[in-house]
């Protein structure tokens, strides 16, 4: 078996619907002849089958992306009999279903026909909608499948993706994806991908099969998994994406420009003819039972049993009401540790399912993301934007330790032009933390073609008279390639120890522009000294922040065989203090990024920085090394390289040198990965910082090791082992997971912490947890 690829034994060529797929048929499809599965005689006559969707061949210069999707219309046919999910598409109903074909590349050769076409048919019955997919490939032995786990990385495998805009509002939708190995990925998407929740889990199934001329997928999505309006006749937005990983090619049924992807549902085609279907009652009960055996150093082992319940009810076709009692997150993966070499708090992402589902509704304003494709600048305030609502403030301490949750409720979804979210959680009292109640209210209204305005209210109340409240309004305007956004928020915290000077406001205004050749973004943020958001993430107070990025995308034809795109870009992040206008931090980045045809990329650059440190802070607790007060000017020079992550062996490395405060720093990140088959992959990431300052010298080490084994698409083992030289501890998080029925799991989890110097066990826990979903 070739490493890193899914190698298939040769099968006899499939016969479907009485026709034989031939290489001539493939060639005619690529030339624009509207063919589906046709006989040799039909191929010679170059006539389309009567049931094919009406499409036309296009060249890159001929595509009008504003109107092309109007021609991509696909009729759904009611199945005449039961459909068995086995990846063969041999039921008679598939023969009568219209065909969607003639996929168009958006990368690397925008506007040209796909190297190998993909053919899709759609059926439905009273319970579900079905997609029958044939992804042509003359070399199926070279298919790339790197993973079988749920919510696999769709960028590193051959695959097929669907987006369904069930409300046909050209803004929101559901994404479903699979690869030739039958792995599943699903997500909710809002505002054309500006908010994406890959942690949403739907009930659906898929069966795949590989043959001599390509691979097949048979997909079943129950209507109760989806939200849509209750009408006798349904018309949904739909688009399909095919990834041919070995040439790093993306193609779409309804053409999409290179700067966008499948989430651009305003450019999707349509499914028509769905009659007499209903979303169902959509009532789910999901009880759990868990038992834990835990031990701390020097203390006896304790054993606990716990149980709880989650309930989900579809109030309307667009609104979902969730209830949770005695909420448990013991199966959630541990945080990846970080080395903090700044005077500001680190950001750790949310990983708990209850808070991740529909989390995009609570997003406020907009958070600037990575820029230029590499994102390896490594300085300034990047990645430290304020988040008005940060769900890790609920049920977790500042150190990431769990705080028990008694229960809560959440109402989220859409009703007409409105998106709304309400969440209320009651946190239990512990020896060190008082009981607290958390409430978040969010309302957003769609306006114009693709813009929105909204408001948010946050409230945290503790036992006694203390409370913290934040109210804000935001607006996001989108006009083609240009986006303009702004927000304003104010906090209310009587009785807190906030500074006596300054204001209680947080604000931002900015824009983002992106075309095929240029990217530009700039904005201004302000956070007052007295702004207090106990339900958010605020890295620093009392500042004005000016940030911007500009870059150009270049596709040099002379070296296009191996280099796909270059992205020279400049970025800046400047912070000044509100009370005196003096500089606090200045970061500038001059970078050049290279994206290669196989999916690898590299980046070089340098980052001049200024830090004005008003108070000394400890930069390394193990050696008690400090950065003293003063103004520091220094520059970092770096180089980054990431090889093709779909290969058997790959690695990423970043090396940086330069002055650092009043001393010098050498930094090395090195991360090799191995993928023996689609079932086994492992990686190690080593981060070294060799730092010499006037107050001391130290070498910090952070090692992160991951091992994943996928027994099949429903049984997985994951290990996360980490070493941090700052606290001199080894931590292990081992998880075994069986999906014993849809959205129902068994987990066996082992957690451990050990002291590196003595080898003494600091803590250990073994957790067994069972969930069981009952859907109506």
Residues linked to residue 774 through DSSP beta bridges, in sequence order: 285
End-to-end CA distance of the chain: 44
Report how far apart, in Å, the C-alpha atoms of 318 and of each of 269, 418, 688 are.
Answer: 22, 10, 49
pLDDT digits (tens, 9 = 90+) for 728-763: 999 999 999 999 999 999 999 999 999 998 889 999
Query: What is the predicted pLDDT for the residue at 102?
Result: 95
Q: Are the beta carbons of 487 and 365 closer than 8 angstroms?
A: yes
d(CA 365, CA 412): 18
Q: Rounded to two decimals, what is the model's pTM?
A: 0.85
% of the chain with per-residue pLDDT over 70: 89
Q: Are the beta carbons of 407 and 436 closer than 8 angstroms?
A: no
% of the chain with per-residue pLDDT over 90: 73
Mean pLDDT for the chain?
A: 88
For range 496-523, the mean pLDDT: 89
Cβ-in-10-Å burial (0-12, 13-18, 19+) of 153 comes to middle
What are the φ and ψ backbone dihedral angles of 678, each rounded to 5 degrees?
-70, -15
For range 387-398, the mean pLDDT: 91
For range 142-150, the mean pLDDT: 94
pLDDT digits (tens, 9 = 90+) for 437-472: 999 999 999 999 889 999 999 999 987 678 999 999
Q: What secondary structure, in 3-state letters, does 547-599 show? A: EEEEEECECCHHHCCCEEEEEEEEEEEEEEECCCCCEEEEEEEEEEEEEECCC
Residue with tokens 């509100």: 578
Query: What is the predicted pLDDT for the residue at 512?
Result: 95
Structure token pair of residue 522: 């700039």
To the nearest 10°, report the CA torsion of 495, 499, 502, 504. -40
DSSP H/E element including 107: strand 104-107
DSSP category for residue 48? -
Query: What is the predicted pLDDT for the residue at 60?
Result: 52
Q: Examine the pLDDT at 550 and tell me if it is beyond 60.
A: yes
What are the φ and ψ backbone dihedral angles of 534, each rounded to 5 degrees?
-80, -5
Out of 59-63, 129-133, 524-528, 659-663, which region has the weakest mean confidence (pLDDT)? 59-63
Residue (of 199, 220, 198, 200) closest to 208 by Cα position: 220
Which residues fall within 8 angstroms of residue 390, CB to CB, at 6 or more apart? 350, 535, 536, 537
DSSP category for residue 100? B
Q: Are the beta carbons of 101 and 35 closer than 8 angstroms?
A: yes
The per-residue b/e assignment along 82-104, b for 16 or more CB within 10 angstroms, e otherwise, is ebeeebbbebebbbebbbbbbbb
d(CA 644, CA 652): 9
Q: Are the beta carbons of 590 and 567 closer than 8 angstroms?
A: no
Residue 316 half-sphere exposure, CB side, CA atoms within 13 Å? Answer: 10
Which residues fall within 8 angstroms of residue 89, CB to CB, at 6 or more apart? 16, 121, 132, 134, 216, 218
Local structure of 761: helix, strand or coil: strand
Q: Are the beta carbons of 26 and 138 closer than 8 angstroms?
A: yes
d(CA 167, CA 540): 41
Peptide bond into 10 cis (omega under 30): no
């Amino acid at each position: 078996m070739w490493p890193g690829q899914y190698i298939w034994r040769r099968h006899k060529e499939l016969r479907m619907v009485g026709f034989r797929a031939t290489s001539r048929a493939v060639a005619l499809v690529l030339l624009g002849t509207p063919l589906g599965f046709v006989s040799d005689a039909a191929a010679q006559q170059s006539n389309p089958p009567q049931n094919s969707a009406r499409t036309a061949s296009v060249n890159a210069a001929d595509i009008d992306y504003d109107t092309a999707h109007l021609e991509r219309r696909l009729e759904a046919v009611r199945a005449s009999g039961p459909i068995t999910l086995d990846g063969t598409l041999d039921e008679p109903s598939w023969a009568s279903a219209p065909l969607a074909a003639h996929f168009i590349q958006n990368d690397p050769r925008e506007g040209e026909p796909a190297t190998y076409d993909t053919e899709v048919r759609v059926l439905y019955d009273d319970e579900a909608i079905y997609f029958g997919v044939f992804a042509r490939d003359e070399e199926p032995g070279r298919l790339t499948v790197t993973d079988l786990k749920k919510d696999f990385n769709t960028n590193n495998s051959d695959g097929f993706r669907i987006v369904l805009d069930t409300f046909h509002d050209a803004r929101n939708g559901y994404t479903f994806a699979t690869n030739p190995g039958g792995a599943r990925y699903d997500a909710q998407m809002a505002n054309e991908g500006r908010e994406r929740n890959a942690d949403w889990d739907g009930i659906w199934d898929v069966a795949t099969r590989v043959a001599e001329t390509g691979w097949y997928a048979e997909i079943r999505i129950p209507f109760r998994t989806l939200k849509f309006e209750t009408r006798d006749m349904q018309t949904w937005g739909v688009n399909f994406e095919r990834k041919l990983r070995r040439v790093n090619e993306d193609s779409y049924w309804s053409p999409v420009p290179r700067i966008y992807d499948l989430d651009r549902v305003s450019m999707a085609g349509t499914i028509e003819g769905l009659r007499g279907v209903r979303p169902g009652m959509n009532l789910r009960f999901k009880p759990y039972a868990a038992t834990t055996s835990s031990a701390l150093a020097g203390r006896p082992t304790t054993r606990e049993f716990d149980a709880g319940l989650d309930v989900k009810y579809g109030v309307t076709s667009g609104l979902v009401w969730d209830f949770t009692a005695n909420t448990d997150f013991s199966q959630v993966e541990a945080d990846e540790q970080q080395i903090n070499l700044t005077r500001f708090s680190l950001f750790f992402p949310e990983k708990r399912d209850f808070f991740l589902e529909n989390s995009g509704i609570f997003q406020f304003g907009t958070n600037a993301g990575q820029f230029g494709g590499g994102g390896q600048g490594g300085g300034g305030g990047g990645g430290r934007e304020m988040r008005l609502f940060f769900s890790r403030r609920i049920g977790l301490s500042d150190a990431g330790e769990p705080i028990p949750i008694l229960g809560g409720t959440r109402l989220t979804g859409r009703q007409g032009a409105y998106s709304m979210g309400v969440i209320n959680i009651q946190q239990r009292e512990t020896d060190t933390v008082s009981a607290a109640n958390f409430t978040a209210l969010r309302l957003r209204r769609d306006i114009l073609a693709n813009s929105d305005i909204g408001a948010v209210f946050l409230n945290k109340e503790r036992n006694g008279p203390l409370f913290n409240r934040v109210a804000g309004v935001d607006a996001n305007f989108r006009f083609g390639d240009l986006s303009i956004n702004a927000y304003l928020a104010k906090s209310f915290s009587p009785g807190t120890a906030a500074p006596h000077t300054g204001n209680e406001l947080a604000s931002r205004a900015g824009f983002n522009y992106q075309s095929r050749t240029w990217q530009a973004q700039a904005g201004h943020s302000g956070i007052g000294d007295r702004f207090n958001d106990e339900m958010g993430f605020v890295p620093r107070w009392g500042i004005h922040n000016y940030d911007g990025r500009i870059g150009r995308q270049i596709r040099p034809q002379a070296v296009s065989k191996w280099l796909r795109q270059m992205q020279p870009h400049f970025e800046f992040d400047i912070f000044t203090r509100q009370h005196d206008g003096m500089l606090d931090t200045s970061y500038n980045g001059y970078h050049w990024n290279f994206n290669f045809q196989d999916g690898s990329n590299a980046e070089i650059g340098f980052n001049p920085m200024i830090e004005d440190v008003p108070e000394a802070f400890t930069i390394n607790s193990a050696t008690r090394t400090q950065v003293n007060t003063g103004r520091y000017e220094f520059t970092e020079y770096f180089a980054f390289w990431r090889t093709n992550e779909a290969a058997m062996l790959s690695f990423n490395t970043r090396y940086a040198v330069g002055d650092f405060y009043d001393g010098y720093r050498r930094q090395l990140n090195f991360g090799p990965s191995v993928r023996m088959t689609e079932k086994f992959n492992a990686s190690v990431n080593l981060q070294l910082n060799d730092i010499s300052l006037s107050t001391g010298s130290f070498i910090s080490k952070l090692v992160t090791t991951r091992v994943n084994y996928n027994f099949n698409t429903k049984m997985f083992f994951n290990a996360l082992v980490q070493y941090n030289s700052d606290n001199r501890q080894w931590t292990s998080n081992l998880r075994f997971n069986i999906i014993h029925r849809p959205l129902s799991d068994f987990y066996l989890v082992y957690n451990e912490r050990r002291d590196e110097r003595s080898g003494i066990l600091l803590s250990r826990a073994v957790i067994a947890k069972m969930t069981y979903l009952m859907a109506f």
